[in-house]
Amino acid sequence: MPRERRLARLGELDPRTEILSLAPHALEAALTAWLGERGQPAYRVEQVVHWIYRQRADDFEAMSTLPRALRAELERSFRLPSTDIAETCESVDGTRKILWRLIDGEEIESVLIPTSARDTLCVSSQVGCALACAFCATGMLGYRRNLTPGEIVDQVRRLETLRGREEPGVNVVFMGMGEPLLNWDNLRIALATLIDPRGLEVGARRITVSTVGVPEKIVALGEEFPQVRLAVSLHAGIDELRDEIVPLNRRHPLRQVYAACRLWAEATGKRLTFEVLHLPGVNDRPEDVAALAEAVRQVPAKINLMRYNPVPGAPYERPTVRRTMAFRDALRRETGTTVTIRRSRGMDIEGACGQLRLARSGA
């Protein structure tokens, strides 16, 4: 189904305005006009916004400081929230994966990862993914559609409620289902809402956008949101190998990705993170280490190693801790940069991106 038709279908399913898809300034303008037409005082705008983003109300009926008749009128004109919980799974390590059902029946995943410092909220940007990375459960689902700004924002808003505490704050990572930079128009509205003090007020430095490498949008992200962090899912520093495991590399080879990353670093003054999913025997050979060292010479970056979580149908094995540590040590010697190993969380609840959705689909 063409993109325009998919978006039109959402409006057909529910013609009301999706209130969370309006960036804070646009939301205030829309509410000012809507309330003014009904003779409501100006302070009602602040009340509604407060209920949406501070109280994280799940419906208009909960907005008890508003007259009951006004709440009913709001319900007839605006849609809130944008997601419904379809399933929740909790790991023995405290990680929670939430499967959200959207208005058209599609499903996406988020993950709430508790830590002793800040909790991390991992959110999705698309239903499925078109990039078909060889190791990824989401890629096996195929691409369905982009998420609206409201569907992105609502994941964070409702995860904040589920975590059950206000302090300390959170880290938000766009490492769930989908390629965020292929949903740039909606992502930028969502980022603005997450960062804005009138919105969810997540510090921009606490947000990371992860991409497999969309050069033009990497540059745009640095220019428009210089405080937001960037993680590039590199996985290999050799074009021929990356062509196999990250097919987008055939369209945007490493030289283009590195050039965009350098421009991002110049615009932001930050180091980015190269993410490398450890596929034993595939991307941990001496020549792979040398190629990743060359990548770090070209781009100011640190490396985050991840141990592969097995996905049914993918031809890779999970590396042993010993082998990943040896890979890390080799990278440290050759690159001279920071190399860390990400702790695996939620494996007992199919915690990797797309695994729960894939299991439910029967694919």
Residues designated as active site = 109, 353
Is the preceding peptide bond at 168 cis, omega within 30 degrees of 0? Answer: yes
How many Å apart are CA 31 and CA 38, to the nearest integer?
Answer: 11
**Tokens 């559609």 label which residue?**
145
Reading the block at residue 170, the tokens are: 């959170």
What Cα–Cα distance (Å) separates residue 267 from each residue in 183, 258, 275? 21, 14, 21
Whether residue 215 has a cis bond before it, omega within 30° of 0? no
228 token code pair: 């937001």
> What DSSP character marks residue 130?
S
In terms of Cβ atoms closer than 10 Å to its own Cβ (0-12, 13-18, 19+), residue 5 is: exposed
CA distance 92 to 239: 39
